[in-house]
Structure 1
Amino acid sequence: MTDETVAANDPVEENTVPGWHPDLWTLPRLAAVDNLAEALLRHGLTEGGARAMSRAAVRPDDMRRRLADPAELRVQGGTLLIAETRLWSAAVLPHPANPREYGHRQYALGSSGTRRRVMTEPGSAPSGVAELEMRVETPTVIAQRLEDAKGRLIKDNPLAQDIAVEGVLQPLTVVSLTVAHENGHPDRALLIAADGSSRISAAHELLDYSPSRIAYEWGADDRKIRSEISRWTRLIRRQGWEELTEDERCKVRTLSIPARVVIGFRPNAQAGQAFHTAVRNFIGLTHIRPPRPYGPAVENEAKADAVLDSLAEPSRSGDAHITELEKHWYAGNISQEEAKSAGLSGHRDVRAAEIVRSLLGGGVRTARRVNGGIRSLTAKQRPKRDERIDVAVELILRPVRTALSDSAMDDAKFLRPRRAVLQRAYRLPEIEDLSAEAPMEGAETDGCTLEELRDAAMAEASQGLGDSGRLGPAQSELAVKAAYHMAMAEPMALQREVFGGNDDDDDRGAATVLRAMLSRRRGIAQAYEVIRAGRRGERLREVEEDGELLITAEGRPRELTDALVRHTYSGGPMPLEDARVGFKAASVSWACVRESVDRLRKDVSGMANVPVEDDGPSFVIQEGWEPAQVREVRDILDRVSRRVAAWADRFEERAETAEL
């Protein structure tokens, strides 16, 4: 079973999750509905618009009171006057000319043969009130457009699963629209979502509502829409929330929606824009020119704090999953000195492993707690395992990012590849088996030493763990900690899989490479050395079978690189040190070349940073260097450069020949 298969079969996603328990809404009295309609008429709306709004209100008395002091929503060209209230989902429709459909619309100018009529955009009502109007040939045109809009919105922006758990959270901006029919059919006043068509379409999908039925059956007969709402309110009163099925609860959560109902419009005197233009401007600001998205990293940061709050809160069935002190440690809100005085480890890999165990270990029970934190911020019904991993990685990187900021380094360039590697490495499914109760190396109490952890991992490897497809607990803990240092190292000793490479490229994911490495005694010794060197701030070096540093023919330790790790623990029959010919042997030599080039670059930078005197300018920039010595070095570099370039030319020639 691959890491990706395990991630796809996340058991948490198949379990029912708790959701919102709404208040018991009751069907309003007809007198209250009539009173609201009269108040809306006095406010300047048309009879059709007033009636559509009044029948849609969950609490008409409350909405009527809000008419006296409406909220203001400024848009380009004017100010929308709105009443914030709840509306029945059975009375609100998606925008029939939703801009999300623009890329799929067909136009008469491009059609051939048969006459094609394209539904026009809504315009302002001729009476000058804050309502829209559009003309269509027959009711069938608008009915079909509403059904098409619902189907496309559900496909392009699926929200039903999330709304089923928490209902609609953000209010829809609702506008009255009068549909005039050219065939003489009576006009129909509808309430449409100027924004939020995806949300109302998802609600209709859950409730099995047809938009055309809402528009032309329930919209023409108050008794029918009241009968539909009444059957749900009676069911809740008769059975109670606890006796409802999960499907019934999902429907009840979407029975009503929060809304900002547009009841007036005040245009700017200078602009003189019409109401429909102001509504279109509002839609554009919401969907076409919305605020710049936060981005995945920032979103995961926000989710991380919500997850920590969830883990630190006692559940109904037990204690908190983490302590308040651990919460602040994981969040990075305490200093190193405060962490040390509290008995917490100062090693970042230990903190990383504790975060991984607390957020990703412990099986389904932990995953549900973490998902609860994610849902509290996103209303996502079933967060994926990868989302929990991303949140854990973002917590791990907080102190790293702060240190980079203090050093004025390009944190984005440094963090982006390392974030990706840790997200892939911690897909290792064995992490789920790490118990919250078992002490870890570096733990505050009862923890083992790094040497004891290494020896325990060796014992697990001797039992065949890892080769069986599953690492043991000690091997997994070593993998988590070693992965942190291998990702943070320069050069990185663990990188992403290769996409689109040739057949010789190693395209295994980071988690698979880690499992292959920790399944071998040499790999365990390598992980131990990686952690030890990483904690000391030293460069990572390759080890031999006995755990001693591997010394190259040049008499120096060989730097650990991703290529060396992948070839050494490739899972093939021939270990890397036995490879003397072919691609594997050449890859080892190329790794040494890269190490030498990197060291040369850094040595040149180091020489350039030597000052003339303390806090003075660079010596070589001010004084220069003896030309003969520079020419000698440049001649060597030129020869090496030409030789390496010839290899690239040969590679391209072979590739071109293979294409012929």
Structure 2
Amino acid sequence: MLDEAIGGEDEIQSGWRPPTLKLPRPAAVDNLATALSARGLSDAAARTVARSAVRPDDMRRKLAEATELRVQGGTLSIIETRLWSASVIPHPANPREYGHRRYPLGGSGSIPAATPEPGSAIGRGAELELRISTPDLLAQRLEDAKECLIRENPLAYDIAAEGVLQPLTVAALTVVHANGHPNASLLIAADGSSRVSAVHSLLDYSPCRVAYEWGRDDRKYRKEINRWLRHVQRLGWEGLREDERQKLRALTVPARVVVGFEAHTSSGQRFHTAVRNFIGLTHIRPPRPYGPAVENEAKADAVLDSLAEPARTGAAHITGAEKHWFAATVTTEELLAEGLSRHSDLRAASIVRSLLGGGVGTSRRVNEGIRSLTAKMRPKREERVDIAVELILRPLRAGQEGDLAFIRSRRAALQRAYRLAEIENLPAGTLIELDDGQGPALEQLCDQALEEVGLGRGNDGRLGVAQTELAVKAAYYMAMAEPMALQREIFGGSEDEDDRSPAAVLRAMLSCRRGVLQAYEVVRAGRCDGKLYEVEESGRRVVTATGDHRELTDRLVRHAYTGEPLVEAATGYQAAAARWASVRNSVESLQQSVRAMEAVPQQVGGRSQVDAEGWDPTAVAAVRGDLDHVDRRIALWSDRHKEMDRQREAEQGLIDAIDRTD
């Protein structure tokens, strides 16, 4: 299954539903502007800030207790509120572009002058001022900045689902034009230009239109906002198309509006320097990241919360007991009292099945948990695998295996092993083999896997369900063994070295009889805390010339299971069964391709291309004709099988009648 199939329109529809909004009364805007002017903002800046507020009356009440935010050299006074997206533009001199800018001194005279940095407005505490030659220069600068930010830091798809989550830090900016054009009073994102650009992309806003058209014309500005408010009022949220819902999620943004600045006595710092220092602390010298392992741990807990919550259309994906089992927050005694397995491979397999199996339904639930921490709309499959592995490794930190080097190598091996594509086809229900007395024993799981080998599964490119479950369980002990019997692939080695991924090695291993028996032996020995030994074709341990059993290593596994296809039967049921497995895989691949095509949007965050415009009827008719031809041929096989069953039943009935007569 492709990740694109998970990130389609259906998943976006589960996003945030913004509250009902109203256009503020002009009187409320005027009252806020008056209060802001009293705090030292110029009349133009005060008006710009006031008209941007979604709830100007609430913002005016907060002015009495503005929050202080200390930065190097001074203290900013801020108010947290929501702003209309049609009132905010990116920072005209956004530092994210510094590494890509071209400067006139190093090029030809055709290169335009770089946009100057805003300075502090004289006599105003919390206002910036930008002096520029013409409005056209700033308009082009804003358009270039928007394109660069969308390319360098694409956020539109995530914002389309959840809106902007973290508040922008915005400040008033007065643009003074050297050619005599009237000053423009703007509101810029001192921190958050990428989010503003993504919002404008979703709403089809041009930043120069925000700055120079709506910025000076209240009637056009309010009309633009009101058309969306009237639209949702007329149709209701349920009556909106998904692309319209995405725009409404982006119609407002949370913000920290700077309404005052006081320099520290000893620094004499000016406002524009304080803003630059704030940006530096946020982006140039941010706090040290936690690191992937810690991040995956945090995501894992969020994912478990999501899976344990009842779904909108059904029960929870896992029970409360399973949640604590997966989180490793239970003792062995509590675990046994709940009827859960003490075997580490069964816990690992249950985690893998619950977080990675079950197809699209499971992926959506796991993604919901990831989004709750990251706001990432389309987490990749690799991210879900890494989270599952982090849960699996938790119990190891309590024992001697808590050594970082031990955990690091096992993490790398399991992350690659559990990227085995067939894992996604594991059913969302219980495993085939359980340890609670209700499911088949390990021997029966092995027998089912051997039956799948006999049907050609694995050699046709995809393992069966029993083969996959056995591979998941064996991979755990093979990675934990010392020496490791399954390691990550070798990069940069000689041509003679095997650079297959652990997932590819597992597929090759479980595709043959000997490999299934080897996996069975690995799980059996692992559950007894025994060493892992190589087995021969019969399943018996290999005996060396010295009479000892040969210990299993990664090199031995790779040597024994090269991935080369076995000699296939050319006639009879076994040959036909292998071909049938290939037919079934082709159907699954076709379904995946159709879902992937449906997930292609018209534009970033937009509707599906084929849902919106369909596809060429001639091309569709040709494909449907081919599918219809295949359907009729396969149906004939089914009819023939039923006919043969009836003949056999009739013959058996005749034989029984003769026997009764005799």
TM band (smaller chain): 0.7 to 0.9
Deviation at 1:507, TM superposition (A): 2.4
Match for residue 463 of structure 1 among 455, 459, 462 = 455
Partner-residue secondary structure (3-state), 1:16: helix
Structure 2 residue identity aligned to 1:124: S
Task: Tell me what 2:276 maps to.
Answer: 280
Percent of aligned positions that are identical:
65
Task: Tell me what 1:45 maps to.
Answer: 41
Match for residue 155 of structure 1 among 151, 154, 170 = 151
Task: Tell me what 1:180 maps to.
Answer: 176
Task: Tell me what 1:597 maps to.
Answer: none
Structure 1 residue identity aligned to 2:489: E
Task: Tell me what 2:240 maps to.
Answer: 244
Task: For 1:335 and 1:271, locate their aligned partners in 2 and report how far apart those are by CA, in whole Å.
Answer: 57
| CA deviation string 1:181-233 (max 9, x = no partner) | 11111111110111111111100000000001111111111111101001000
> Which deviates further from its counterpart, 357-366 or 325-334?
357-366
Are 1:569 and 2:561 matched, yes or no? Answer: yes
Task: Tell me what 2:55 maps to.
Answer: 59
Task: Tell me what 1:526 maps to.
Answer: 518
Match for residue 422 of structure 1 among 404, 414, 418 = 414
Structure 2 residue identity aligned to 1:539: K
Task: Tell me what 1:81 maps to.
Answer: 77
- How many residues are matched? 565
Deviation at 1:9, TM superposition (A): 5.0
Task: Tell me what 1:377 maps to.
Answer: 373
Deviation at 1:499, TM superposition (A): 2.5
Match for residue 509 of structure 2 among 517, 523, 528 = 517
| CA deviation string 1:334-372 (max 9, x = no partner) | 012211222211111110001111111112222221111
Written as runs of structure 1 = structure 2, the 5 A alignment for 1:448-527 is 448-527=440-519
Task: For 2:183 and 2:407, locate their aligned partners in 1 and report how far apart those are by CA, in whole Å.
Answer: 59
| CA deviation string 1:252-310 (max 9, x = no partner) | 00000000000001211122211111111110000000011121211111111111111
- The answer to whether the Cα contact below 8 Å between 1:46 and 1:129 also exists between their aligned partners in 2 is no
Task: For 2:77 and 2:83, locate their aligned partners in 1 and report how far apart those are by CA, in whole Å.
Answer: 17
Match for residue 541 of structure 1 among 533, 537, 549 = 533
Q: Which runs of 4+ in 1 moved over 6 A?
A: none
TM-score, structure 1 length as denominator? 0.83
Are 1:441 and 2:437 matched, yes or no? Answer: no
Aligned Cα RMSD in Å?
A: 1.7
Deviation at 1:74, TM superposition (A): 1.1
Task: For 1:433 and 1:309, locate their aligned partners in 2 and report how far apart those are by CA, in whole Å.
Answer: 23
> Which deviates further from its counterpart, 89-98 or 440-449?
440-449
Q: Check 1:495–1:114 CA distance in 2 against 1; reply closer, same or farther (3 A cut).
A: same
Deviation at 1:573, TM superposition (A): 7.0
Match for residue 329 of structure 1 among 316, 325, 329 = 325
Deviation at 1:438, TM superposition (A): 4.1
Partner-residue secondary structure (3-state), 2:371: helix
> Which deviates further from its counterpart, 461-470 or 37-46?
461-470
Higher RCO by CA contacts (8 Å cutoff, separation 6 or greater): 2
Q: Check 1:10–1:440 CA distance in 2 against 1; reply closer, same or farther (3 A cut).
A: farther
Partner-residue secondary structure (3-state), 2:265: coil
Task: For 1:353 and 1:115, locate their aligned partners in 2 and report how far apart those are by CA, in whole Å.
Answer: 60
Task: For 1:105 and 1:433, locate their aligned partners in 2 and report how far apart those are by CA, in whole Å.
Answer: 48
Are 1:356 and 2:380 matched, yes or no? Answer: no
- The answer to whether the Cα contact below 8 Å between 1:122 and 1:134 also exists between their aligned partners in 2 is yes
Structure 1 residue identity aligned to 2:363: A
- The answer to whether the Cα contact below 8 Å between 1:13 and 1:384 also exists between their aligned partners in 2 is no
Match for residue 550 of structure 2 among 558, 572, 581 = 558
TM-score, structure 2 length as denominator? 0.83
Deviation at 1:75, TM superposition (A): 0.9
> Which deviates further from its counterpart, 86-95 or 8-17?
8-17
Match for residue 10 of structure 2 among 8, 16, 28 = 16
Match for residue 410 of structure 1 among 393, 403, 413 = 403
Task: For 1:308 and 1:117, locate their aligned partners in 2 and report how far apart those are by CA, in whole Å.
Answer: 53
Structure 2 residue identity aligned to 1:149: A
Task: For 1:267 and 1:86, locate their aligned partners in 2 and report how far apart those are by CA, in whole Å.
Answer: 27
Partner-residue secondary structure (3-state), 2:65: coil
Task: For 2:3 and 2:31, locate their aligned partners in 1 and report how far apart those are by CA, in whole Å.
Answer: 55
Task: For 2:428 and 2:66, locate their aligned partners in 1 and report how far apart those are by CA, in whole Å.
Answer: 53
- The answer to whether the Cα contact below 8 Å between 1:539 and 1:559 also exists between their aligned partners in 2 is yes
Task: For 1:113 and 1:280, locate their aligned partners in 2 and report how far apart those are by CA, in whole Å.
Answer: 29
Written as runs of structure 1 = structure 2, the 5 A alignment for 1:259-278 is 259-278=255-274
Deviation at 1:117, TM superposition (A): 2.4
Structure 2 residue identity aligned to 1:243: G
Partner-residue secondary structure (3-state), 2:365: helix
Partner-residue secondary structure (3-state), 2:10: coil
Q: Check 1:530–1:64 CA distance in 2 against 1; reply closer, same or farther (3 A cut).
A: same
Q: Check 1:115–1:445 CA distance in 2 against 1; reply closer, same or farther (3 A cut).
A: closer
Written as runs of structure 1 = structure 2, the 5 A alignment for 1:157-306 is 157-306=153-302
Deviation at 1:495, TM superposition (A): 1.6
Structure 1 residue identity aligned to 2:413: V
Structure 2 residue identity aligned to 1:410: D
Q: Check 1:574–1:169 CA distance in 2 against 1; reply closer, same or farther (3 A cut).
A: closer
Task: For 1:454 and 1:330, locate their aligned partners in 2 and report how far apart those are by CA, in whole Å.
Answer: 25
Deviation at 1:436, TM superposition (A): 3.4
> Which deviates further from its counterpart, 243-252 or 61-70?
61-70
Structure 2 residue identity aligned to 1:167: G
Partner-residue secondary structure (3-state), 2:68: strand
Structure 2 residue identity aligned to 1:237: Q
Q: Check 1:9–1:366 CA distance in 2 against 1; reply closer, same or farther (3 A cut).
A: closer
Task: For 1:38 and 1:493, locate their aligned partners in 2 and report how far apart those are by CA, in whole Å.
Answer: 74
| CA deviation string 1:389-440 (max 9, x = no partner) | 1111111111113335xx6x531x2222321221221122222222233443
- The answer to whether the Cα contact below 8 Å between 2:128 and 2:173 also exists between their aligned partners in 1 is yes
Task: Tell me what 2:384 maps to.
Answer: 388
> Which deviates further from its counterpart, 105-114 or 374-383?
105-114
Task: Tell me what 2:643 maps to.
Answer: none
Task: Give structure 2 stretches of 5+ with no counterpart.
Answer: 568-662
- The answer to whether the Cα contact below 8 Å between 2:125 and 2:260 also exists between their aligned partners in 1 is yes
Q: Check 1:114–1:378 CA distance in 2 against 1; reply closer, same or farther (3 A cut).
A: closer
- The answer to whether the Cα contact below 8 Å between 2:41 and 2:124 also exists between their aligned partners in 1 is no
- The answer to whether the Cα contact below 8 Å between 2:362 and 2:428 also exists between their aligned partners in 1 is no
Deviation at 1:14, TM superposition (A): 2.7
Partner-residue secondary structure (3-state), 2:215: helix
- The answer to whether the Cα contact below 8 Å between 2:433 and 2:445 also exists between their aligned partners in 1 is yes
- The answer to whether the Cα contact below 8 Å between 1:439 and 1:448 also exists between their aligned partners in 2 is no
Deviation at 1:537, TM superposition (A): 2.4
- The answer to whether the Cα contact below 8 Å between 1:439 and 1:445 also exists between their aligned partners in 2 is no
Task: For 2:330 and 2:65, locate their aligned partners in 1 and report how far apart those are by CA, in whole Å.
Answer: 47
Structure 2 residue identity aligned to 1:121: E
